[in-house]
Amino acid sequence: MTLLILGGTGTLGRQIVRKALENGFQVRCIVRNKKAANFLKEWGAELVYGDLTIPETLPFSFQGVTALIDASTTKSEDNSELIHVDWYGKLIVIELAKYTQLKRFIFLSILNSEKYPYITLMQMKYRIEKFIESSTIPFTIFKYAGFFQGLIYQYAIPILEQKPIIITLESPTISYIDTQDAAFFCIKSLSIKETKNKIFATGSSQAWRSDEIIELCEKLSGQKAKTQRVPVFIFKLFRQITGFFEWSLKISDRLAFIEVINNTQNFTSSINYTYDLLDINKKEILELDFYFREYFEMMLNLLERLNVGQIKKTKTSII
């Protein structure tokens, strides 16, 4: 089976490429910059030039392809570009998938994207979900609340650098997941016929509140976090104000997403059905506390070596 992967150079996409190759799949990646994606070629993937904003570059990539995994998301400060790529570009991909009669289209989306149409990224994800569902393509959609890797920048690094962390007074429980495990879910679903035309909420087996994650980071780092707690309604108000100004649309989206991930009612969901259908043992899935323990051990050892090296250098210069 030949897999076509969109977003193969991304944090999640590269794990999907690696996991697919490990499981014996032939992997083809659509890339705009082959030089930047050369590491995928070294792993064993085939690189084909393609640009979602240039439709004529895409058809060649679909030749001989059995299934497609879309792990791509536009990282642009311009909402119009996001719409151009994540809506119009994806529509072209879906039409090509229909034309070539792919056996499976796996789309990676965001949990509860349908509830937040005022966030451009969420709106595009949900619209593509519905378009795929209404097509004739056999599909599987995975919806995530967040990845462990993103929490490093949100909590771990600010604590190490003694920078403030903003959280809401209402602290919801969210089931995050490691990108390697998310990739494992995607690849395994290809071999299970019951996953066809299904939508799955996906995360690790343990959900965490913001204050629990901060407490864990404090314990592992030995440092106290500088936490600022703000009511959710403040984010809602500021989002409404900034939404009036074009220059602040990106800020508005970020504030809105903070509101989303801190909405307990919408982001607390059971993933038992996903585990059962994919026949996955929860004990095989990495949990956040272990992930953070490894990260802080690595970082603290690195900082210690750098500090020792700096002291030796200083003593040498004095002598």
| Global pTM value | 0.85
pLDDT at 86 over 70: yes
Residue 112: its pLDDT value, please? 81
pLDDT at 214 over 50: yes
Residue 248: its pLDDT value, please? 39
Contact by Cβ (8 Å): 67, 6: no
Contact by Cβ (8 Å): 256, 239: yes
- Give mean pLDDT, residues 128-147: 94
Q: Are strands 226-230 and 198-202 parallel, antiparallel or unpaired?
A: unpaired
Please give the mean pLDDT across all residues of the chain.
85
Residue 113: its pLDDT value, please? 85
Residue 267: its pLDDT value, please? 43
Residue 37: its pLDDT value, please? 96
Pick the more confident residue, 140 or 254: 140
Residue 77: its pLDDT value, please? 64
- For the chain, which domains are there? 2-302 (3.40.50.720)
Quick one: which H or E segment has residue 69? strand 67-70
Q: How many beta carbons lie within 10 A of that of residue 87, not counting itself?
A: 18
65: left (phi over 0), alpha (psi -120 to 50) or beta: beta
Pick the more confident residue, 216 or 237: 216
**Tens digit of pLDDT for each residue in 268-308?**
456 888 999 999 998 899 999 999 999 999 999 987 887 65
**Position 106: which residue type?**
I
Contact by Cβ (8 Å): 128, 107: yes
Percent of residues, the chain, with pLDDT higher than 90 = 60
- Give mean pLDDT, residues 128-137: 95
Residue found under tokens 């979900």: 129
Residue 259: its pLDDT value, please? 55
Instruction: Kindly tell me the number of DSSP H helices and DSSP E strands found in the chain.
Output: 14, 9
pLDDT at 124 over 80: yes
Residue 270: its pLDDT value, please? 66
**Tens digit of pLDDT for each residue in 42-63?**
999 999 999 999 999 999 999 9
- Give mean pLDDT, residues 174-198: 95
Residue 318: its pLDDT value, please? 47
pLDDT at 188 over 60: yes
Q: How many beta carbons lie within 10 A of that of residue 18, not counting itself?
A: 19
Residue 114: its pLDDT value, please? 85
pLDDT at 100 over 60: yes
pLDDT at 249 over 70: no
